[in-house]
Structure 1
Amino acid sequence: MMSDARSLTAHTTARRATRRRLLVRLLAVALVSGLAGGAVAALTGAAGWAFGLLAAVSGYLVAARLWRLEPGVPVLTYHSVSDNAAWLPWRAEISIRPASLDRQLRLFRRMGLQVVDSETLVRARLAGRPVPGNWLALHFDDGYLDNWVAAAPILRRHGACATLFVSTDFIAPPQPLRPMLGQDGPLRWDGYLSWDELRALEAEGTFRIEAHGTDHGRIATGPETVDHLTPENAGRLSWMQWARMPGDKHDWYLRRSRPVPLGSAVPISAPALAARGWSPATGQESDAAYDARVRAVLATSRTLITREMGRAPVLFCWPQNQTSDRARVLAQQAGFLATTAGQARNTATDPAATLSRLHIGEDYAGLRCGWIDDLAVRAQIRCFQGFVGWVAVLGAVGALRRIVRVLVRLRSHGRRTGSGALQEGMS
């Protein structure tokens, strides 16, 4: 039984902490090797610093080469692929440019990776079959229109396939198929896919459509207030509006009227399928009520996708990559072979019915630089595969990103200071 909301919250990711521990251990090996090399150099009269540095680098490389974790299968997660994602309040976290996706697919080929569909991967793992070390799966969440406009033609050009997870409340209404990259007509970057577009994507083999729930919502988990709605945070807190928009939400960002007005209290919350809710009228949601609510979402999304796509979905992607152990059981009972939100690396000893995923972005150093992005993505994938030596690359890119952020803030501060001085001088 689940005693409170905290027991249902996300399986907190330990991936970054694990990388830090691995990096510390590798650097410790390098330090010991460097000190030993320096001592030998001092005894023999050689150049101590050069010999020590060479020993440190050699120690790190040898340790990284010999120390490999159990091999994992990377499952990469994307969302929006757009040249204009201004309509999305969370674009900075989830949107990449079409050119970045194209570049990454070329990188995968150079790395010798084979893109396979997720159902093939899941069925192989469930059957206990060995999975080739170069397999890679691609996921696209939320069903954004730009997956049709940009991602699909890019994937098609590279002969790659992917899984597309859709939340059924956000499906666009019937309309003619909209233009893609490389076709005549103006491109539209905002909005969501229609069922006709989803069927066309699956028919050509670019995407396989799977379930992502219904409303992608969050739920209040207690009486505490953590903020209030303001013009600045209203976009990022759109889930509060969605909760008051029953049914179709495909045009939520175009609606001028807000069911929840500015100034309203923002409650402490969690992804709706990952936690028991709370309301002033009834208090904490019971286990039975939680089960019924999750079952309803699983059944609704499965029924709608089955009706529209002509086959039942077999994979379920938990919104915001968070779930509970109980929800996983309910998804299995509903007929899903596997669900997401794992925090491992899809190794042979990890649960086969749980997919662990790696979010892929761009501008990893805080600026546009293709070769740094290639290096960062390569390092993420290699770490997921168990090659621990690549942790140092991720650490270096992260340090560079922090330096760039500091420089940007200093530059912005300098501009504001200079502008203020100019205005004062003119007054």
Structure 2
Amino acid sequence: MTAFESYPGDEQLRQWRRDFHRHPEIAFEEHRTSARIAELLREAGLEVHTGLAGTGVVATLDGARGPGRTIGLRADIDALAIEEATDLDYASQTPGRMHACGHDGHTTMLLGAAWALVKNPDFAGRVHFIFQPAEENEGGARVMIEQGLFDLFPMDAVYGLHNWPGMPVGEAAVHSGPSMAAFDVFTLRLSGRGCHAAMPHMGDDVVLAGCELVTRLQGLISRERPAHQPAVLSVTQFHGGDAFNVMPATVELRGTLRCFDPALREHLEKRFREAVQAGADFHGLAVELDYQQRYPATINDAEHAARCAAVLENMPEIEKVHLDLPPCMASEDFAFMLEKCPGAYIWMGNGDSAALHNPAYDFNDDLSPLGVAWWQALVRQLLN
């Protein structure tokens, strides 16, 4: 009996997931992870395409009922540059790298669904299983699209999921519209004349100017944003100076700005640039600003969201489907796929775990069988 013939089972899912967890790889470096995914897909008998975005993997399965619609199912495969602090027996074996967002679990669930559907392809149409690199910060979805994802693998709709800490296992959430926020990053450098700290009038106080900017920029959120439209601006880094008695010549600030509405996003960027320049001009400083729009907002197609909710509500494994949870201000590069192809992105409860991107986080293995069941149910319902 081959490994494929003996699957699927909860223990096999657990072994797969914990193997991925032991060997985390960050954006565009997921070489071992990608090779293992391709190996398992080929073992199941699937046609496998590798190389999109470097480490991306796509497998295709045709249903036994003949032609029909085509859908894509996506899992992210990368880890984070975080030092793990769990003491688990399957903890990361790579210093400074950790699956702190559950992508090891997302990968496992989609692999399990692929194996299960190969064993029983009782549907009409085609499924593309998309294993995407570099979700964290580097836009692997965008790169896969630029390199021909939707040209090589045309599809009528695409779907994604994310585990959700704090939501009980057996519960899920679907948003009819925005699910995750757009994501912009900024780095700004203020430069002037350094001087002795005892004689600040002989130089330029870039620290004071930077502190004023931190406060000034929050005015964009409190006074430039319509009250009904969420937005968050966070200055996350402030670097400057090396000595107690020296006024530094430069300071550097970094951070993020997030919102959902595209028009508000453009307005806030414009006003951000104006506020930075005005602050620099007031203090007589030079300013360098690098402002980058990274990810668009993740916005579900309402019709596809409704289909997902209906499938979840008919699954005996799912105890509750939330349709009214507020969207999250975190971001997700699945948004690039939804800009090109209609679809939806759901959340599935990870139970009482540490938060995402926390060194103590761990994906809940009890969720894996539910994720496998979800993907199968979605395929059979939509391609029936």
| TM-score normalized by the length of structure 1 | 0.21
Q: Which structure has greater strand proportion?
A: 2
Larger Rg: 1
Q: Which structure has greater helix proportion?
A: 1
